[in-house]
């Protein structure tokens, strides 16, 4: 980020702020939801009690000495932050570690009956099985007769707005998905399409966000790009373990693929296309440990960097990934997106609905209009979205143009 002075890192210690409410209210609500979803035994209940008590006024506890990933978390900062208040360390870090502690409490990584049992699976499957998903899938049939350009745009927007289907967000937002938004606060979609030309044979990396009603439209977009010959290969990055309630894991991907292949009409055809893309190697899945890391992508390890460098485009989905992409800091909203993403090893696009304070790449008029209409609520309400692209990332150029 050449000339951009770092802005303050977002912490959770300001009462009344969104980050504070996530730590003080959303995390306890998530613990209650997990308890209500699955019948954990007394030992696990006690561990959940301890986590709940610690969320309010406790300090960050280290991982048990025998935790399989203790060294990894030490390298990610645990030895520095252990003993401090959840509220006083970078918010990105404390949120991420909360999910690791939750999995510890429910025995996710331990031998025994709870091993690898996803505590969020009941809410994820309820969403995937909901009649609303059927309605969304049957809408694809109407799209089939439209020109390819129109279909592509609709599927891109489906993937973008699918990001509102975030179950953690709904715990804070009062139970339902926010109403549809008036428009995009930034729209670099023409640059995005220029990076995925007809007869393109490159690789698309899609860094997925939520399972269910976000992952399904992501998969439909990917299927369309493969079918239209705009890409030769897709690498889908998902989370190695349950995270931020609804983030997609490899198991969620299989559920989504089965859901699609079982659907009638166009959705089923997309599902079969994806199924064969998996079996012939055009669609591969990665669940890199760093995908559940508490750090910005600027600190990604070399192997991940090499994967993104080899892609024609990396599409980064969702709010949390956006925070990690541009850095979880109080950037002035007009800070150029390209300045904050120039470290990225190849062309990168963000598809995100706005659900936290971080924002960059707005023009001054757009920011002023949003503030005049809504104060600062537009940042977190989930009712606005953006498509931002840095086509020159990894080349040393700082412009959004290819
Ligand atoms: O990444 P996603 O699914 O779009 O959103 C995740 C989210 O709900 O969780 C975070 C706060 O906990 C925010 O970044 C955002 O509001």
- Tens-digit pLDDT profile for residues 8-33: 999 999 999 999 999 999 999 999 99
Q: pLDDT confidence of 2, banded at 50, 70, 90?
A: low
pLDDT at 3: 63
Q: Are residues 363 and 295 in the same domain?
A: yes
Contacts 24+ apart (CB under 8 A), 268-276: 270/140, 270/219, 270/220, 270/223, 270/224, 271/223, 273/223, 273/226, 273/227, 274/219, 274/222, 274/223
Residues 365 and 378 in one domain: yes
| 131 and 100 share one domain | no
Q: What is the mean pLDDT of residues 126-130?
A: 91
Domain boundary among the residues 79, 104, 119 is at 119
CA 234 vs CA 28, 43, 338: distances in Å: 37, 42, 24
Domain end: 74, 103, 119, which one?
119
CATH code at position 332 = 3.40.50.10880
- Quote the number of domains for the chain: 2
104 and 187 housed in the same domain: no
> Atom of ligand 1 at shortest distance to CA of 210?
3
In this structure, the residues whose C-beta lies within 6 A of any atom of ligand 1 are: 22, 95, 163, 166, 168-169, 209-210, 244, 318-320, 323, 355-356
Statement to judge: residues 87 and 66 lie in one domain: yes
Give residue 205's domain range: 124-390
Nearest-atom number in ligand 1 for the CA of 322 is 1
Looking at the fold, whether 114 and 155 belong to one and the same domain comes out as no
Taking phi first (over 0 means left), then psi (-120 to 50 degrees means alpha), and beta for anything else, what does residue 177 get?
beta
Residue 5 lies in a domain: no
For the stretch 62-94, pLDDT in tens is 999 999 999 999 999 999 999 999 999 999 999
Mean pLDDT taken over the chain: 92
Q: Predicted ipTM?
A: 0.97
Judgement on whether residues 344 and 329 belong to the same structural domain of the protein: yes
Residue where one domain finishes, among candidates 119, 139, 167? 119
301 and 221 housed in the same domain = yes
The whole-number pLDDT of residue 178 equals: 43
Confidence of residue 171 (pLDDT cuts 50, 70, 90): very low
Asked if pLDDT for residue 124 goes beyond 80, the answer is: yes
**Residue 87 and residue 142 in one domain:** no
Which of the four pLDDT bands, split at 50, 70 and 90, describes residue 402?
very low
The alpha carbon of 210 and the centre of ligand 1 are apart by a number of angstroms equal to 10
pLDDT band at residue 168 under the 50/70/90 scheme: low
Q: Residues 233, 113: one domain?
A: no
């Amino acid at each position: 980020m050449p000339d951009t002075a770092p802005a303050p890192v977002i912490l959770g210690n300001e009462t009344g702020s969104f980050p504070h409410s996530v730590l003080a209210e959303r995390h306890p609500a998530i613990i209650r939801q997990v308890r209500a979803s699955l019948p954990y035994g007394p030992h696990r209940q006690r561990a959940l009690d301890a986590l709940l008590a610690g969320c309010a006024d406790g300090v960050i506890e280290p991982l048990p000495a025998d935790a399989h990933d203790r060294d990894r978390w030490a390298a990610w900062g645990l030895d520095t932050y252990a003993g401090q208040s959840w509220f006083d360390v970078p918010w990105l870090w404390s949120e991420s570690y909360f999910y690791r502690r939750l999995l510890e409490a429910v025995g996710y990584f331990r031998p025994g009956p709870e091993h690898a049992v996803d505590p969020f699976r009941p809410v994820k499957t309820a969403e995937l099985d909901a009649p609303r998903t059927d309605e969304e899938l049957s809408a694809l049939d109407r799209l089939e007769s439209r020109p390819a350009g129109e279909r592509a745009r609709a599927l891109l927007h489906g993937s973008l707005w699918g990001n509102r289907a975030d179950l953690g967000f709904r715990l804070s937002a009062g139970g339902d998905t926010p109403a549809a938004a008036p428009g995009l606060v930034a729209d670099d979609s023409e640059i995005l399409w220029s990076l995925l030309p007809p007869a393109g044979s490159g690789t698309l990396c899609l860094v997925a966000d939520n399972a269910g009603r976000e992952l399904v439209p992501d998969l439909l977009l990917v299927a369309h790009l493969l079918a239209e010959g705009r890409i030769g290969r897709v690498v889908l990055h998902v989370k190695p373990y349950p995270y931020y309630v609804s983030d997609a894991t490899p198991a969620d991907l299989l559920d989504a693929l089965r859901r699609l292949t079982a659907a009638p009409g166009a959705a089923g055809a997309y599902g079969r296309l994806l199924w064969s893309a998996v079996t012939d190697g055009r669609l591969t899945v990665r669940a890199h440990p760093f995908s559940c890391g508490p750090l910005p992508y600027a600190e990604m390890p070399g192997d991940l960097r090499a994967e993104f460098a080899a892609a024609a485009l990396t599409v980064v989905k969702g709010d949390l990934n956006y925070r990690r992409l541009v850095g979880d800091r109080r950037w002035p909203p007009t800070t150029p997106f390209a300045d904050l993403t120039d470290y990225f090893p190849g062309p990168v696009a963000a598809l995100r609905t706005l659900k936290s304070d971080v924002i960059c790449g707005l023009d001054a008029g757009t920011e002023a209009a949003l503030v005049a209409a809504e104060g600062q609520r537009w940042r977190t309400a989930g009712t606005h979205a953006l498509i931002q692209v840095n086509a020159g990332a990894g080349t040393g150029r700082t412009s959004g143009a290819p």
